[in-house]
Amino acid sequence: MDGGGQKGQGGTRGTREALGKPGPAPPRRSRSREATARAGPGTMAECTELEWAVQVLVNNFDKYSSRCCCCKNPRRISKKDFRKMLSRELNHMLTDTGNRRAADKLICDLDENKDGRISFEEYWTLIGGIASPIAQIIRQQEQSVKHTK
């Protein structure tokens, strides 16, 4: 959250050298499209790694979000809960997660409709903004390993 200013990028300049240690990956299991359709969402025991990762991201959003006013409005994350999510869930990938001003700037950058809350689509922009530079770092590390052999 170094405040790089550009949407989807600035929040990840401070990635740590080691990128943190993600939790254990689920066992790799694949299943047919028919089995996936029958099981439906939410059956993480039989998911592929990618399906599992998407479900984790959705569950994380749901953990910090709430509905506005009535049940018909989509879930959104408040500023307070977004700051809490940053400090608890992204402290290994973003710097200044405890900095209220930096968090508020990130919220402002993500909040496309300026309602003061983060929708799932706006949250997904954050995820893409984090994943893209990390993917680039991983590719660079793989290239440097290839060149040292």
Tell whether 87 and 38 lie within a shared domain: no
Q: What is the pLDDT of residues 74-92, one digit of tens each?
A: 899 999 999 999 999 988 8
Number of domains comprising the chain: 2
User: Which band of pLDDT confidence, cut at 50, 70 and 90, is reported for residue 118?
Assistant: very high
pLDDT at 38 over 70: no
What pLDDT, on the 0 to 100 scale, is given for residue 71? 62
Q: What is the pTM of this model?
A: 0.63
If one compares 98 and 25, the residue with the highest pLDDT of the two is 98
3-state secondary structure of 77: strand
Domain that holds residue 52: 26-64
d(CA 133, CA 130): 6
Shared-domain flag, residues 51 and 78: no
pLDDT of residue 94: 79
Residue 41 included in any domain: yes
Shared-domain flag, residues 50 and 91: no
Instruction: Give the model's pLDDT for residue 41.
Output: 53
Per-residue confidence (pLDDT) for residue 54, from 0 to 100: 95
Task: Provide the angle, in degrees to the nearest 10, between the axes of the packed helices 120-148 and 100-110.
Answer: 100
Higher pLDDT, 71 or 111: 111
For residue 105, the Cα-to-chain-centroid distance in whole angstroms is 17
- Dihedral sign, Cα of residue 125, residue 88, residue 21, residue 36: negative
Task: Say whether both 86 and 54 belong to one domain.
Answer: no
Q: Using alpha carbons, list the distances in angstroms from residue 29 to 37, 40, 46, 58, 59.
A: 15, 15, 6, 20, 20
Higher-confidence residue of 112 and 19: namely 112
3-class DSSP state of 75: strand
Do 102 and 130 sit in the same domain of this protein?
yes
Q: Are residues 109 and 55 in the same domain?
A: no
Distance, in Å, from the CA atom of 44 to the CA atom of 51, rounded to the nearest integer, reads 8
To the nearest whole percent, how much of the chain has pLDDT over 70? 66
